[in-house]
Structure 1
Amino acid sequence: MSNVGLLYVGGVLFINSLMLLGRIDGKSASVFNIFIGILQVFTPIYLIVKADGNMPEILGAASIFLFGFTYLYVGLTNWFGLETSGLGWYCLWVAILALGFSYVSFSSADLKFGIIWLFWSYLWFLFYLVLAKKMDIGRYVGKVTFVMAWITCTIPAFLGLAELWNSVSNTVAMIVAGLALLYFITAYFSERASPAAQKNVPS
């Protein structure tokens, strides 16, 4: 994915995190999801045609569709008030594919994007739990989405556009990933211990 596209993925994740946290109405958030979804569907079509059979380039372009169809699906679901289970099961499929893209990144010695793809797989899996399995973890997923909007998309994309991404060491990436995981764990238990969560615990 190009750094420009990744930057706007960060933007849509930021918007969606605020939606999950109750700061933005779902229908309002759907507009930006549809904009970015359209961008992330037409861009890979152009890249695949331009690749002229180059399989690594086609694989990279194919990964963009995962994002594009996700945001179109989210945007249209929220806009029309559709039931979310179909979107949730799609997110599970994408979460599994993201593990494959992570493996490809690690295999090509790209540790930073190998880690990022693992984070994205986790995020899509959380969307599956919320949208298909109807688990009451929306606020937790909102917090995870907010962090990922910055550490997996916005900051890497900005550094890439500024030609600084390659200067970020793998050690720094692993430290950031470790801190993010620590936050995700503590945020989960904090949400489960909140009064609102306690009300939903069967007696």
Structure 2
Amino acid sequence: MGNVGLLYVGAVLLVNGLMLLGRVPARAAAPLNLFVGGLQCVTPTVLIIQAGGQQNAILAASGLYLFGFTYLYVGIANLAGLPPEGLGWFSLFVAGAAVVYAGISFWHDHDPVFGVIWLCWALLWALFFLVLGLGVERLTRFTGWTVVLFSLPTCAVPAFLGLTGGYHPGAGAALIAAVAAVVLLAAATLLSKRFPVREPAVSTT
């Protein structure tokens, strides 16, 4: 169930990145955020109920709420026209939590690939805090392109691999993931300077 939800997180990240770039209106992006946000709240709830008190299973499901609450917040804020500061400061909390989950992936789950992926997500939420919480508008284009470029490699690709039994974490794969993340960040920097942005809208991961 976690991989199913992660697949659609990739979709909503793509849409939200385009929203930050002004390519998708905020209200047009709201329904998908609500759908995926709801899914990412229902899924961990079911997993925790089915866990039967097993701490490792509960721990694995707990991180999904970070996505669920974020996307529900985005969807509601976009429909209601709420100011972005609350979402931005919430993103700061989520960024910190994502760093903790990265550490858990590295040292508790022995899954360095998802450790790298969690660090990528932490970076995205930190950028949302800077853009939405602190109003650092000069980072809007960079953030939008980073979200777009990270959406499939950090979500849809590992989700498909997990669903098909092709996900095999290891140090080599983690190194490839880290190098790919750096390359994508460099690409986001170049794209943010090369292509103009339309009027940005409220968005996040």
Matched, 1:187 2:196: no
What is the RMSD of the two structures over their aligned residues, measured on CA atoms?
Answer: 1.9
Q: Which has the larger radius of gyration?
A: 1
Give distance in 2, aligned partners of 1:16 and 1:175. Answer: 26
Counterpart for residue 74 of structure 2: 74
Counterpart for residue 7 of structure 2: 7
Q: Please, which of 146, 160, 164 is the counterpart of residue 158 of structure 1?
A: 160
Q: Report the more deviating stretch, 28-37 or 137-146.
A: 137-146
Counterpart for residue 106 of structure 2: 106
Structure 1 residue identity aligned to 2:92: L
Q: Which has the higher contact order (CA 8 A, sep 6+)?
A: 2
Counterpart for residue 52 of structure 1: 52
Q: Percent identity?
A: 44
Structure 1 residue identity aligned to 2:17: S
Structure 2 residue identity aligned to 1:45: T
8 Å Cα contact 1:147-1:180 kept in structure 2:
no
8 Å Cα contact 1:12-1:33 kept in structure 2:
yes
Judged with a 3 Å threshold, the aligned counterparts in structure 2 of structure 1 residues 80 and 102 are, in CA distance, closer, same or farther, namely same
Give distance in 1, aligned partners of 2:12 and 2:195. Answer: 30
Residues 1-203 of structure 1: matches in 2 within 5 Å? 2-107=2-107, 108-136=109-137, 137-166=139-168, 170-185=171-186, 187-188=188-189, 191=192
Structure 2 residue identity aligned to 1:32: L
**3-state DSSP class of the match of 2:63?**
helix
Judged with a 3 Å threshold, the aligned counterparts in structure 2 of structure 1 residues 52 and 169 are, in CA distance, closer, same or farther, namely closer
Structure 1 residue identity aligned to 2:48: I
**3-state DSSP class of the match of 1:165?**
coil
8 Å Cα contact 2:124-2:146 kept in structure 1:
yes
**Per-residue Cα deviation, 1:62-103 (whole angstroms, up to 9, x for no partner):** 111000000000111111110111110110000001111100
**3-state DSSP class of the match of 1:77?**
helix
8 Å Cα contact 2:2-2:43 kept in structure 1:
no
Query: Gapped runs of 5+ residues in structure 2?
Result: 198-205
TM-score, with normalisation over the residues of structure 1?
0.89
Structure 2 residue identity aligned to 1:143: W
Structure 2 residue identity aligned to 1:156: P
TM-score, with normalisation over the residues of structure 2?
0.88
Q: How many residues align?
A: 195
Q: How far does residue 173 in structure 1 lie from its aligned partner after superposition?
A: 3.7
Query: Gapped runs of 5+ residues in structure 1?
Result: 198-203
**Per-residue Cα deviation, 1:124-151 (whole angstroms, up to 9, x for no partner):** 0001111100111211111111121111
Q: Report the more deviating stretch, 32-41 or 178-187.
A: 178-187
Give distance in 1, aligned partners of 2:163 and 2:195. Answer: 43
Q: How far does residue 176 in structure 1 lie from its aligned partner after superposition?
A: 3.6
